Amino acid sequence: MFKKLVATRFSRKDNERAAIGFAYDSLNNDFKILRIVCNEMFSESQAEAEIYTLSSDSWRKVEISTESSRGCADTEPKLGPIYCVWGPFTFYNGALHAFAFTVGYLFILSFDISDERFHKVMMHRNYLDGGTISFTNLAVYKGLPANFVFAHDLGNMRRGGVLCHVWVMEECAVAKSWTRKFVIPMELVHRFFGCTNNGELLINNATGLVSIDPESQNQNILAIEDANWVAFSANSMESLVLLDGDKSHRESEREEEEEKKNSNVCSMDDLGGGGALGSGGGLGSSSSQLGSSGDGHSRATS
């Protein structure tokens, strides 16, 4: 079933780019979409955010709190207003995460999907490590947030060599806990899609879609010709969350009432009608079964 969303609150602007995240709010039993709009020319105009909730079927503006980017004068730098958020979002520990930019700073902006508050997560200071970065992506590695930094391999430039630095945050929201777990040499990386549950990297390279074990660095070629859809996939979990819970609940109640009525109807045998009609059985009863849906996320997924 597809759901067509109502129009957003923000009017279309020139040079606009939007980062979108989708997730399920388990505390409030609701699906939500976060949309952050900014100027793709990286002007210093502040980014704007809005959130859609399925329960209300509407968008509303949310403030990207200046408090979350103000910092402590003694321990953290003053980051200033956020003027760009670079998706895709990654869903982890009840929050959506994406890269955010202020003047002179790059960090991770997180959005708690339940209390709808923004927080910042500082990057590891030496993640650049003196290399020339091709691109970088956030993903979840074996249940922990991770930053995958793809830098040019200066010793293998002719063959499009890339070094993938895998940085894992071993303690949530603690910048000092960033640890570089692996450095993986690769060739001609076109796109990084994320990780499997067992920690393998999903990469699109000259061969096609492959999975790479960061520990053994073994590559497994996956027999998938068009891998673009992988960017929009996510791990799912069976649940009894319904997209239209109230409606389904009312339908279930009506079915139960109908079943009770049917159970009160007697057959001719019950009334002593004998064998002229044979051994008539009771009227049929109906039953309903709740469907299952995936646990929404980004990411998307947003």
Express each pLDDT in 248-295 by its tens digit. Answer: 544 555 566 555 545 444 333 443 443 333 333 332 333 333 233 333
β-pair partners for 162: 152, 186
Determine the pLDDT at residue 128: 66
The secondary structure element, H or E, covering residue 21 is strand 16-25
Q: How confident is the model at residue 83 (pLDDT cuts 50, 70, 90)?
A: confident
Residue 126 has phi, psi (to 5 degrees) of: -105, 25
Determine the pLDDT at residue 282: 30
Torsion of CA 242, 243, 247, 253, to 10 degrees: -10
Of these ranges, 5-19, 73-87, 190-204, the one predicted with the greatest mean pLDDT is 190-204
Determine the pLDDT at residue 278: 32
Q: How confident is the model at residue 130 (pLDDT cuts 50, 70, 90)?
A: low
Could you tell me which residue, 152 or 232, shows the higher pLDDT? 152
Residues 254, 258, 260: CA angle, nearest 5 degrees: 120
Mean pLDDT of the 135-146 span = 92
Q: What is the pTM of this model?
A: 0.71
- Is residue 124 within 8 A of residue 107, CB to CB? The reply is no
Environment class of 295 (CB within 10 Å of its CB; exposed 0-12, middle 13-18, buried 19+): middle
Determine the pLDDT at residue 17: 83
Classify the phi-psi angles of 198: left when phi > 0, otherwise alpha if psi is within -120 to 50, otherwise beta. Answer: alpha
Determine the pLDDT at residue 43: 62
CA distance 237 to 246: 22
Q: Which residue is it, tokens 């009227």?
A: 283
